Structure 1
Amino acid sequence: MAFDFTEAEIQRYSRHILLPEVGGTGQAALKAASVLVVGAGGLGSPSALYLAAAGVGRIGLVDDDAVELSNLQRQILHTTQSVGTPKVESARARLEALNPGIVLETWPMRLTAETVDDLVSRYDLVCDGCDNFTTRYLVNAACVRAGKPLVSAAVQRFEGQLSTFHPARGGPCYHCLYPQTDGLADGLSCGEAGVFGAVTGVMGTLQATEALKDLLGLGTSLVGRLLMWDALSTRFTTITLQRDPTCPVCGAVNREISDG
């Protein structure tokens, strides 16, 4: 089977191509794939860097913030020189320097109920690393409606969480894990609670790993499981997640699977 790779691409991705589980076929699949990264911050930085380095052909970056000096302790896409510039533009420059052979699409905006469905529908998979529940619920619901896998990561202080949500595969959605209530608060932000910078690097890298596995169909997915990491005790814990058959977001999807 012939692959549409340049000589430079063969050299760039040679360590992937050497892996029997990836090979030329898998690398070609990554080249044809697209991922939307929600948030170009602490989680989105390592996630986007590894997705770009791996050769994911089209990456979308959505974030409405500008780079601040306090971001640089953990948001490794950005530099001191980029303080004051939109995060998506700073991220674009860094990712283009890393891998000029991929397509980068920037969306300098905050996702809303009016925009989220159109944006999610443009990509094969979504990596969510945003810092508020409102956006997480919007992204989750849009992924359920579009039937797209959602790899969701979160951090606070010295801890991180990661899961892949894809009700079409029989697992729960984000809403099943964290049922939304009218009085739900977003909790403490990094600016209020603090965050150990390297924790975002670990969780963002794990997020990219799970996204690449999903795109390639490798290994065991985190669908239906939640991975938790406590950096202070250096302990990973995985728990099984149960779907909510009455979930207002994915309940209909899960009922279709059960009935089928």
Structure 2
Amino acid sequence: MTRYSRQISLPEIGEGGQEKLHKARVLIVGAGGLGSPAALYLAGAGVGTIGLADDDTVGISNLQRQILYTENEVGQLKVHCAAQRLRALNGNIEVHVYPFRLNRENARRLIADYDIVVDGCDNFSTRYLISDSCSALHKPYVYGAIQGFEGQVSVFCYGDRPRTYRDLFPDETATLQMPAPDNSVIGVTPAVVGSVEASETLKLICGYGEVLAGKLWTVDLRTMQSFVLLL
């Protein structure tokens, strides 16, 4: 347990919390800007099984913010490179890779094997799919999104009055018809938001603190203003 001594010494974690982390199974959908820091911190914390779902390859423009990857890995599948990095960080965990895109045929089957789903994706349709699947399967969905200097995080499908992604964007048809968001982003924005997603995941697993269920946390890194809104 020496490896995890700094967090085990926290009364909110302890040896009992570390055992919960070891037994936990977390699926990260999207191994990009958000998924990179989330995966690294969850692996470092000792989450026993991490799944990575992404069909994309590493591009040179990814390296500005997707800290799982190096120049030597450009052109390779992200999930394979990410798995190698996570196993190098922590050889005591299992990493499963799914080099395909989530769709209506595979989503529920894949999510059913995990305890929690972490959002590392970048489009509305996949988020609706994750939310609907997690709601049907009663699995917590840790949502995160970024643009520019701004980000937001929430925990859907969890608690006594679980909210879903549809509570944030009720009109799916209108939402999917919206223009694609500008993909401009400063590299630290996904680092901050992905780390908060990891923090919410750790709270869900270990059972400490207040998770962002029924709430939306927002941050603007230009002004360092952050708010928690009730959903």
Name the TM-score class by shorter chain: over 0.9
Aligned to 1:21: 12
Q: Does 1:64 align with 2:55?
A: yes
Distance 1:126 1:186 in 2: 25
Deviation at 1:233, TM superposition (A): 0.6
Distance 1:188 1:158 in 2: 17
One-letter amino acid of the structure 1 residue matched with residue 180 of structure 2 = L
Mapping of residues 75-224 of structure 1, within 5 Å: 75-167=66-158, 169-183=160-174, 184-185=176-177, 187-189=179-181, 192-224=182-214
Distance 2:78 2:125 in 1: 20
* Residue aligned with 2:194, SS: helix
Deviation at 1:16, TM superposition (A): 1.3
Q: Does 1:51 align with 2:42?
A: yes
Runs of 4+ in 1 over 2 A off after TM superposition: 180-189
Deviation at 1:187, TM superposition (A): 4.0
Query: Number of residues paired by the alignment?
Result: 230
* Residue aligned with 1:196, SS: coil
| TM-score between both structures, scaled by the size of structure 1 | 0.86
Distance 1:153 1:97 in 2: 26
Distance 1:193 1:101 in 2: 36
Deviation at 1:167, TM superposition (A): 4.8
Deviation at 1:129, TM superposition (A): 1.6
Deviation at 1:142, TM superposition (A): 0.4
One-letter amino acid of the structure 2 residue matched with residue 226 of structure 1 = L
Deviation at 1:176, TM superposition (A): 1.2
RMSD in angstroms over aligned alpha carbons? 1.1
* Residue aligned with 1:143, SS: helix
| TM-score between both structures, scaled by the size of structure 2 | 0.97
Q: Is the 8 A contact 2:131 2:157 kept in 1?
A: no
Q: Unaligned regions of 5+ residues in structure 1, if any?
A: 1-9, 242-260
Q: 2:224 aligns with which of 224, 229, 234?
A: 234
Q: Unaligned regions of 5+ residues in structure 2, if any?
A: none
Distance 1:238 1:202 in 2: 16
What percent identity do the matched residue pairs reach? 47
Larger Rg: 1
Distance 1:39 1:57 in 2: 19
Q: Is the 8 A contact 2:159 2:213 kept in 1?
A: no
Deviation at 1:89, TM superposition (A): 0.5
Query: Per-residue CA shift, 1:38-65, capped at 9, x if unaligned?
Result: 1000000000000000000000000000
Given the superposition, is the C-alpha separation of residues 119 and 186 from structure 1 closer, same or farther in structure 2, using an over 3 Å criterion?
farther
Distance 1:172 1:142 in 2: 13
Q: Is the 8 A contact 1:133 1:186 kept in 2?
A: no
Distance 1:181 1:24 in 2: 43
Distance 1:180 1:147 in 2: 22
Deviation at 1:77, TM superposition (A): 0.6
* Residue aligned with 2:173, SS: coil
Which of the pair has the greater relative contact order for Cα pairs under 8 Å at 6+ separation?
2
Distance 1:214 1:124 in 2: 10
